């Protein structure tokens, strides 16, 4: 069972409904925040664990006693109802049937009324059968008296300073980020050289894996070699990879104040499945990862992929895709973007790697790259890691306060 603790404390508005997205504070989702079934509002929905008692909870603050109305938007693409007890401060008041809606992309609203008292009231939906809850999109709350404060509390923001103490930096990426494997030194991703730049308060958990697109990283081994009519690789079953599940784990995964650095876009451009990822899907998956990190109080950061060494005469130039997509996903999700693509070829230029005679076995280029223009020797990886840390400082990303 996974529990996504998003935060507590909110206010019931007196007239217009207050919308509580299931993926955002103050809603608590026992399950995962997903975005793989279209039609939801906000940035995702709560996919509750399929188990009796895997509840979703919402704590509201009201100034008057009375009855509040809750419109619950859900999708139940299974063929059976997913009944749930409505718990008001822990006491069951009624059962909602959550009947099948025909498809996971068909979202409907059901209304429940709940008694509220002045102060806080916790409203829970606790499934009574092994199927668990349907997927839940949002709760619209009306009534409960005048608001004692104007708005629900905001989820942790990526610009707020990290709490003091131990911070874990989680890395998701491909071979240009990954630790060297199988006793070899090459290729070494920049993630393997990152920790040395930080104080002992920072632990780097490098979960980057060579050859992965964002989608295969998230869903291994379930991305098939088949494309759907929209041109995307079919994912079946839609079960997350163990590496992403480890980051989502409520006790040992991402926690408040941690960072999640995400860098893909090299393998994603492959035309064939399972690696292929289209533009929109790439941005959707970045958004889904950012939402999951934020739901745990962690701070996501997106990176564009480092450039391969390509010389145009005596100038190193850019050559990677998914740069625009990464920037757009950053804007759409209010996530800072480190443009490692530009910063890396700028580094190649400052190191005067161009023009280049093609010999990766000797000279400064040979010491930086493995036997190709993409992968780094440990020394190259250390310099790329240094570029990332300088960007943290330059962009005033609060993780920089932990740099040595």
User: Which of ligand GCU, Ca ion, none binds 294 (CB below 5-8 Å, type-dependent)?
Assistant: none
Quick note: the x/- pattern for ligand GCU over 246-265, rule CB under 6 A, is: --------------------
Cβ within 8 Å of residue 149, ≥6 positions away: 11, 61
Distances (CA, A) of 264 to 53, 120, 205, 355, 381: 37, 43, 17, 27, 16
User: Which partner in ligand GCU, Ca ion, none is near 3 (CB below 5 to 8 A by kind)?
Assistant: none
The pair of three-digit structure tokens given for residue 252, joined into one six-digit string: 């040992």
Cα 151 versus chain centre, distance: 25
**H-run or E-run covering 83:** none
Among 26, 30, 37, 142, binds ligand GCU (CB under 6 A): 37
Interface pick for ligand GCU out of 104, 198, 368, 369 (rule CB under 6 A): 104
Measured CA to CA, the distance from residue 3 to residue 253 in angstroms comes to 11
From ligand GCU, Ca ion, none, which one binds at residue 62 (CB under 5 to 8 Å depending on kind)? none
Q: Under the criterion CB under 6 A, does residue 356 sit at the interface with ligand GCU?
A: no
Based on CB atoms, which residue is closest to ligand GCU, 47 or 216? 47
Q: Which is nearer to ligand GCU, 30 or 47 (CB)?
A: 47
User: Judged by CB, which is closer to ligand GCU: 14, or 101?
Assistant: 101
Cβ density class 318-339: b for 16+ within 10 Å, e for less: eebbbbebbebbbeebebbbbb
Nearer to Ca ion, 56 or 307 (CB): 56
SS3 363: helix
Q: Which of 91, 78, 74 lies closest to 129 in space, CA to CA?
A: 78
Rounded Cα gap, residues 158 and 336, in angstroms? 8
Nearer of residues 47 and 193 to Ca ion, judged by Cβ: 47
Contact call for residue 47 and ligand GCU (CB under 6 A): yes
# binding residues, ligand GCU (CB under 6 A): 9
The residues binding Ca ion (CB under 5 A) are 47
Among 20, 47, 50, smallest CA distance to 34 is for: 47
The 10 Å CB-count burial string (b at 16+, else e) for 287-306 is bbbbbbbbbbbbbbbbbbbb
φ and ψ at 243, to 5 degrees? Answer: -70, -35
Provide the minimum distance between the beta carbon of 276 and Ca ion in the complex, in angstroms, as a whole number. Answer: 27
Q: Is 30 in the site for ligand GCU (CB under 6 A)?
A: no
| β-bridge pairing 135-143 and 66-75 | antiparallel
Q: Pick between residue 47 and residue 344 the one whose CB is nearest to Ca ion.
A: 47
By CB under 6 A, tell whether 3 contacts ligand GCU: no
The interface mask with ligand GCU, positions 189-228, x = CB under 6 A, is ----------------------------------------
Q: CB-wise, 47 or 283, nearer to Ca ion?
A: 47
Minimum separation from the CB atom of position 27 to ligand GCU (A): 16
Minimum Å gap between C-beta 50 and Ca ion is 5
What the block records as the tokens of 310 is 């390509």
Helix (H, G, I), strand (E, B) or coil at 259: strand
Nearer to ligand GCU, 47 or 126 (CB): 47
Angstrom distance (rounded) from CA 178 to CA 190: 7
Strand ranges (E), 76-186: 84-88, 91-96, 108-116, 119-127, 135-143, 167-173
304 lies in the site for ligand GCU, by CB under 6 A: no
Answer yes or no whether residue 78 interacts with ligand GCU by CB under 6 A: yes
Choice between 27 and 303, CB closer to Ca ion = 27
User: Is 50 near ligand GCU (CB under 6 A)?
Assistant: yes
Question: From the list ligand GCU, Ca ion, none, which binds 78 (C-beta under 5 to 8 Å, kind-based)?
Answer: ligand GCU
Please report how close the Cβ of residue 132 comes to Ca ion at its closest, in angstroms: 5
Contact residues for 106 (Cβ-Cβ < 8 A; gap 6+) = 39, 75, 77
- 47/62 with CB nearer Ca ion: 47
Q: Does 135 bind ligand GCU (CB under 6 A)?
A: yes
Residue 279 parent element (H or E): helix 279-295
Q: Should residue 73 be labelled a site residue for ligand GCU when binding is judged by CB under 6 A?
A: no
The answer to whether residue 238 forms part of the interface with ligand GCU (CB under 6 A) is yes
Interacting residues with ligand GCU (CB under 6 A):
34, 37, 47, 50, 78, 104, 132, 135, 238
């Amino acid at each position: 069972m996974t529990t996504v603790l998003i935060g507590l404390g909110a206010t019931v508005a007196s007239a217009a409904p207050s919308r509580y997205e299931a993926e955002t504070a103050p809603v608590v989702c026992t399950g995962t925040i997903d975005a793989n079934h279209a039609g939801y509002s906000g940035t995702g929905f709560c996919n509750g664990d399929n188990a009796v008692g895997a509840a979703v909870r919402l704590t509201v603050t009201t100034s008057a006693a009375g009855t509040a109305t809750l419109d619950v938007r859900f999708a139940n693409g299974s063929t059976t109802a997913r009944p749930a007890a409505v718990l008001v401060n822990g006491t069951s008041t009624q059962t909602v049937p959550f009947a099948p809606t025909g498809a996971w992309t068909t979202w409907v609203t059901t209304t429940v009324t709940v008694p509220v008292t002045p102060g806080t009231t916790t409203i829970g939906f606790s499934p009574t059968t092994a199927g668990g809850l349907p997927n839940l999109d949002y709760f619209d709350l009306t009534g409960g008296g005048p608001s004692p404060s104007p708005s629900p509390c905001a989820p942790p923001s990526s610009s707020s300073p990290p709490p003091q103490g131990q911070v874990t930096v989680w890395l998701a990426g491909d071979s240009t980020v990954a630790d060297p494997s199988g006793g070899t030194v090459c290729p070494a991703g920049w993630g393997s050289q990152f920790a040395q730049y930080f104080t002992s308060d920072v632990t780097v958990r490098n979960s980057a894996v060579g050859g992965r697109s964002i989608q295969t990283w998230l869903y291994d081994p379930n991305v098939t070699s088949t494309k759907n009519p929209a041109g995307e690789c079919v994912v079946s079953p839609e079960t997350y990879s163990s590496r992403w599940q480890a980051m989502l784990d409520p006790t040992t995964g991402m926690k408040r104040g941690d960072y999640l650095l995400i860098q893909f876009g090299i393998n994603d451009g492959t035309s064939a499945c399972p690696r292929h990822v289209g533009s929109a899907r790439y941005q959707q998956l970045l958004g889904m990862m950012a939402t999951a990190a934020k739901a745990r109080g962690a701070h996501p950061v997106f990176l564009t992929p480092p450039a391969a060494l390509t010389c145009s005469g005596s100038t190193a130039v850019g050559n990677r895709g998914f740069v625009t997509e990464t920037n757009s996903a950053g804007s759409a999700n209010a996530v800072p973007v480190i443009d490692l693509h530009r910063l890396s070829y700028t580094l190649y230029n400052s190191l005067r790697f161009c023009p280049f005679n093609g010999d990766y076995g000797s000279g400064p280029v040979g010491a930086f790259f493995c036997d190709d223009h993409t992968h780094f020797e440990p020394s190259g990886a250390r310099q790329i890691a240094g570029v990332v840390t300088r960007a943290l400082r330059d962009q005033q990303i609060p993780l920089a306060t932990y740099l040595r």
